[in-house]
Amino acid sequence: MREQTPHPKRVFPTPKTFYRIAATMKPQTIPTRPFTDQRPGTSGLRKKVTVFQQPHYLENFVQSTFNALGGIRGKRLVLGGDGRFFNQQALQTIIRLAVAGGAAGLLIARNGILSTPAASHLIRKYGLDGGFILSASHNPGGPAGDFGIKFNIANGGPAPEKLTEAIYAESLKISAFQIVDIAAVDLERLSLSRILETEIRIIDPVADYADLMAELFDFDLIAGLIADSDFRFLYDAMHAVTGPYAEEIFCRRLGAAPDTLLNCTPKEDFGGGHPDPNLKYARRLVDIMFGPAPPAFGAASDGDGDRNMILGAGFFVTPSDSLAVIAANAHLVKGYRKGLKGVARSMPTSQAIDRVAARLGIDCYETPTGWKFFGNLFDAGRLSICGEESFGTSSDHVREKDGLWAVLFWLNLLAVKKLPVAEIVTRHWRDYGRNFYSRHDYEEIDSTIADRIMEELAQRGPGLIGRRCGRLQLTVADDFSYRDPIDGSLSCNQGLRLLFADQSRIILRRSGTGTSGATLRLYFEKPENDPAAMMSETQTALAELIDLAEELTRLKELTGRREPTVIT
Ligand code: G1P
Ligand code: ZN
């Protein structure tokens, strides 16, 4: 299971407190019955909290994961989550199961609060065998909201499909789990204890991650920018996991004033909000950034800290553009000065990054949606930076997307370039060309209708190849599949693609993270090389593609929706 990573392994310092909890109790074997709905989706198993609250539901999934791993005996794991409702209870259950299974060590974030990228870093830094991240990412929380659990492997990244499918297979045949009956472990104080064979360490979740950021970015330069009275910025943690990280990094290490931070106290229900950093859900930040006298820079992150949104004064940077700008300017930033090995994007992400890769003369990989597909490329040394249109960007410093990393990258860039965000992006467009891009989400559609829409387009698409639709000529209509260049595994049915002669694209996918009904995502992209046309409004520039998509899919007609639930 353990893989070699180039990162040097470090050992935890000796703790001040050590205690041993009643070492006499015996693991008990509890009979159980399989649940049939435990197949992990794009990013782990996500369900309504009430589903996870069913007796044995979580126990079954965790035991199935242990079984798929060939047991947990002697293994060391990290545990933490985004702090949402049910996080604490779930952690205690996982502790009991891991102790019963004979885990050698558990590294648990204080209060159970651990961002996804920080979890990935801890696994790598301390050479752990993996970890559980308790999060439903950007989905709403609270008793009526969502909960999720995701297993990451020894390289720090999400379990690849082979493992998630093995977990699912185990979950369908599970008949018992092992658990120990112990009192709740105190997660509030940093400590070291031992229960049976398991060493349990409660750790500060922020310090290691903040140190890593200081290695990658020029903190002195960024501190200089932040100290400049002409520069104001706002960071919105959306009442989610990155609050404590932002306080440490932006305020304590970089000298930002406390009022730079919005919503930085993690809450079990994210303050009733939807912790998704986009134009719809980060409304307060967006209003300020598009209001009178806005700050120069605004950013936000999601529930578990892996997503990011980047804003300038009155300007939204699409995640696809952000990825392209980051890659094009990486040589200006401390941790990336040596150049990039390669870049990658998920299939629906815009081809703006492809233009940068072509200029740099490096490979650009196109993978299915979901971070798990980047892992092999990183481990094989093929990749330095990658991203997804869904507000995810990161590099080979971890094996997850990383919201604060992207925010720090932009701050570092602003400090070097001394230009407004909008100017950096528009200059990039003039230099490389622009890819107009937008995603339209239709949430909670009836599943049968969603299936019908997908099936009809899949059947109809190929017959339309060669046909002209106004200015557009269809050249490819297929269902995207991906053969992993490292392990040769094949992933099929990853989204319907309509590709046009001018490299415009319409893509239709069914979401793998929703928890009620079906969510359909329509992605639109149109390249533009004429500087005069580059400043159009995005939805206007994409209107022809948007109309054509409706004509071909009849999505609005069949669902009765007049408009998308969310446009990003
Ligand atoms: C969505 C995004 C995808 C991202 C995932 C986890 O998945 O589209 O890019 O990796 O969330 O954050 P989807 O719901 O589309 O399957
Ligand atoms: Zn997330």
Instruction: Let me know: does 394 contact 386? Beta carbons within 8 Å.
Output: yes
For the domain with range 434-567, which CATH number is right: 3.40.50.300, 3.30.310.50, 3.40.50.150, 3.90.1150.10?
A: 3.30.310.50
Question: Given this structure, which CATH class describes domain 19-205?
Answer: alpha beta
Domains 19-205 and 209-432 share a fold: yes
Among 39, 43, 161, 306, which residue has the most ligand 1 atoms within 8 Å of its CB, making it the best to mutate? Answer: 43
Q: Which positions are catalytic?
A: 137
Query: pLDDT by residue (tens digit) across 123-140?
Result: 999 999 999 999 998 899
Indicate which residue's Cα is closest to atom 3 of ligand 1.
370
Flag whether pLDDT at 317 surpasses 50. yes
* Atom number in ligand 1 closest to CA 514: 14
CA of 303 to the centre of ligand 1 (A): 13
Q: Give the dihedral sign, CA 194/198/203/207.
A: positive
Percentage of residues of the chain with pLDDT beyond 70: 96
Work out the pLDDT band at 482, boundaries 50, 70, 90.
Answer: very high
Query: pLDDT by residue (tens digit) across 7-60?
Result: 555 666 555 555 555 556 899 999 999 999 999 987 899 999 999 999 999 999
Among 39, 42, 350, 374, which residue has the most ligand 1 atoms within 8 Å of its CB, making it the best to mutate? Answer: 42
Position 5 scores a pLDDT of: 46
Instruction: Let me know: does 95 contact 200? Beta carbons within 8 Å.
Output: yes
Indicate which residue's Cα is closest to atom 4 of ligand 1.
370
- The ligand whose atoms approach the alpha carbon of 139 most closely is 2
Mean confidence (pLDDT) of the chain: 93
Match 């599943």 to its residue by tokens: 447
CA 448 → CA 38, 192, 411, 517, 548, distances in Å?
Answer: 21, 51, 46, 9, 23
- The ligand whose atoms approach the alpha carbon of 305 most closely is 2
CA of 275 to the centre of ligand 2 (A): 9
CA of 254 to the centre of ligand 1 (A): 32
Work out the pLDDT band at 514, boundaries 50, 70, 90.
Answer: confident
User: What SS3 state is found at 461?
Assistant: helix
Among 139, 371, 388, 438, which residue has the most ligand 1 atoms within 8 Å of its CB, making it the best to mutate? Answer: 388
CA of 390 to the centre of ligand 1 (A): 6
Residue 113 structure tokens: 């609060």
- Which secondary structure element, helix H or strand E, spans residue 424, and what is its range? helix 421-432
Work out the pLDDT band at 531, boundaries 50, 70, 90.
Answer: very high
pTM of the model: 0.92
- The ligand whose atoms approach the alpha carbon of 238 most closely is 2
Q: Give the dihedral sign, CA 212/329/537/561.
A: negative
Query: pLDDT by residue (tens digit) across 372-418?
Result: 899 999 999 999 999 999 999 999 999 999 999 999 999 999 999 99
CA distance 277 to 270: 12
Position 372 scores a pLDDT of: 87
The structural domains of the chain, with segments of one domain joined by +, span 19-205, 209-432, 434-567
209-432 — its CATH code?
3.40.120.10
Q: Cite the DSSP H helix spans in 461-566.
A: 538-541, 543-553, 555-559
Task: Work out the average pLDDT over 271-278.
Answer: 93
Find the residues whose C-beta lies inside 6 A of ligand 1: 42-43, 137, 346, 369-371, 388, 390, 392, 511-513, 521
CA of 306 to the centre of ligand 2 (A): 5
CA distance 562 to 204: 48
* Atom number in ligand 1 closest to CA 370: 10
Task: Work out the average pLDDT over 501-519.
Answer: 89
Q: Which of 373, 281, 386, 263 is nearest to 330 (CA)?
A: 386
Instruction: Let me know: does 494 contact 482? Beta carbons within 8 Å.
Output: yes
* Atom number in ligand 1 closest to CA 390: 9
